[in-house]
Structure 1
Amino acid sequence: MNAFFFVAWPYVAWVLAIVAGIYRYFTARYTYSSLSSEMLASRSLFWGSVSWHYGIIPILLAHLLAGVFPSAAAAAVSRPGALLGLEVVGLALAFLSILGIATLIGRRLGTRSPLRRETSGMDWVLLAVLALQVVTGAGIALFVRWGSRWYPYTAAPWFWSIVRLDPDPAKVAALPGFVQLHFVSGFLLIALFPFTRLVHLVTVPVTYLWRPYQIVSWLGRRGAGRSPMP
């Protein structure tokens, strides 16, 4: 199984994400959206979305930087105080992410919730995998201590071996099962990327930097006497 999950699976996930992502871009470009549900339940969306994004984005950046610069990451946590501080912050962010994803899932579970009718099967799959990812990540922080210290020497070399097209799963194969599950589900998210709302991550609205101002005119009694707004 290690040969599949830690050698073949990363390549399958990336090829699927790239090929299906390109196909979706050229055949259904206007579906590249997060499909906001703010009009249906704005308050729960605010608390869920804010908690989720403020928790998960720093965690993703930390994983990325430690993977790209493993030597610098190892040096940064070489002192016990720095290691402890980073671990505490990481665990807090993990719990914030769990709060966010739990809120985003909970707002869809009510039998009378209008969101339930608007949630597709793929939305449920995505939410389940995201929840699995953050829960296993928090579990690693709690039960496999000092991940900031061993990550540059285990996961990072494995990631780089995949990039070099010479995958070496030896170091990650010795890790506990739920740590391996965390890695596998991470690549599952990559594979799901082009089939879900996650594609909105690549739609950075850079054109807003040079787009002309919109002119909004208020009509009716409420807007009587108001001038157009830029």
Structure 2
Amino acid sequence: MIDQFLWVVIPYICIASFIFGHIFRFRHDQFSWTAKSSEFIEKKQLMIGSLLFHIGIIPVIFGHVAGLGIPKEWMHAIGVNDHLYHIGAVYIGGLFGVITLAGMLILTLRRITRKSVRKLSTNSDILVNVLLLFIVFMGVYATLVTNNIQHDFDYRETISVWFRGLLIFNPEAAYMSAVPLSFKMHVMTGFLIFGLWPYTRLVHVWSVPVHYVGRSYILYRKHRSPKRAS
């Protein structure tokens, strides 16, 4: 019963919150759809942390898509055997995971320890930073530590199958029963951040300024002081 709640009910609640929360906020609260940049307060740590985070997170996302979305048998069919996949997932994925973790650590410490930045932050900002830091840490730990301790565990035969079942509305919670704790914590907090996403400043990642592309000019207006009466 507890497995059904953890690995079926909660994920679907988080997915529903992600979808309908975005729709509601976009329709009723567009003015808060912003990152509220704190760059003018402190720039150096923000630049370093953001650069490291974005360099690391993009390959990590693609790695998650491949690992969770592509069945193991399909990988074998295109010539990617288990040993080759393990090298890519653990060592290359681990490297980018560490880079992401370093960036997230810098950004989180900046938000918490810099008084001027903390004053500009809401409780949800701090929660998101800490939660993202924890998610990335657990992902790195699961990749570099758990995978090397429990050699017989293959998340493509458990987590990936369960995840694909969620997407086609045929989830099997039993696949998660033998999953190591570090992977379970990484997965659960990952769904939690998706559930909270629409209600935080994370929504700004969808605000790509595509409307600026193709604009041939920018209009500047010069302010003129009113003429004094003679």
Mark yes or no: TM-score above 0.5: yes
Measured in 2, the distance between the counterparts of 1:36 and 1:96 equals: 22
Moved over 4 A (4+): 73-77, 216-220
* Preserved CA contact (<8 Å) 2:104 2:132: yes
Give the letter for the 1:68 counterpart.
Answer: G
Query: What is the Cα deviation at residue 206 of structure 1?
Result: 2.1
Question: Match of 1:91?
Answer: 94
Kindly report which structure 2 residues correspond to 1:60-71, keeping only aligned pairs within 5 A, or say none. Answer: 60-71=61-72
2:188 is the counterpart of 1:184: yes
2:105 maps to 1:102: yes
Instruction: Tell me how far 1:31 sits from its aligned partner.
Output: 1.7
Aligned to 2:122: 120
Q: d(CA) in 2 for partners of 1:82 and 1:193?
A: 31
Secondary structure at the aligned position of 1:199 is classed as: helix
1:1-230 correspondence runs (5 A): 1-71=2-72, 72-73=74-75, 77-78=80-81, 80-81=83-84, 83-110=86-113, 113-145=115-147, 150-216=154-220
CA contact (8 A) 1:65 1:73 kept: no
8 Å CA contact retained: 1:173, 1:180: no
CA distance in 2, matches of 1:114, 1:91: 34
Output the CA distance in 2 between the equivalents of 1:165 and 1:212.
47
> What are the superposed Cα offsets for residues 73-114 of structure 1, whole Å, 9 maximum, x if unpaired?
46664153553244211111111111111111111233x631
CA contact (8 A) 1:34 1:198 kept: yes
Distance 1:56 1:109 in 2: 22
Question: Is the alpha carbon distance of 1:180 and 1:82 closer, same or farther for their aligned partners in structure 2, counting shifts above 3 Å?
Answer: closer
The TM-score, its normalising length taken from structure 2, stands at 0.85
**Aligned partners of 2:188 and 2:85: how far apart in 1?**
29
Question: What do the CA deviations read for 1:174-221 (whole angstroms, capped 9, x no partner)?
Answer: 11112111110010011011011111122222222233421447889x
Q: 1:14 and 1:205 mapped to 2: Cα distance?
A: 26
**5+ residue gaps in structure 2?**
225-230
Query: 2:143 aligns to what SS in structure 1?
Result: helix
Q: Using the TM superposition, name which of 127-136 and 60-69 deviates more.
A: 60-69
What is the Cα-based RMSD across aligned positions, in Å?
A: 2.3
CA distance in 1, matches of 2:61, 2:144: 18
Matched residue of 2:170: which SS?
Answer: coil
Normalized against structure 1, the TM-score is what? 0.85
SS class of match (2:154): helix
| Structure 2 counterpart of 1:198, one-letter code | L
Q: CA deviation at 1:150?
A: 2.2
Instruction: Quickly say closer, same or farther: Cα 1:79–1:66, change in 2 above 3 A.
Output: closer
Rate the CA distance shift 1:80–1:205 in 2: closer, same or farther, 3 A. Answer: same
Task: Report percent identity of matched pairs.
Answer: 27
Number of matched pairs: 218
Unaligned runs of 5+ in 1: 221-230
Distance 2:92 2:60 in 1: 10
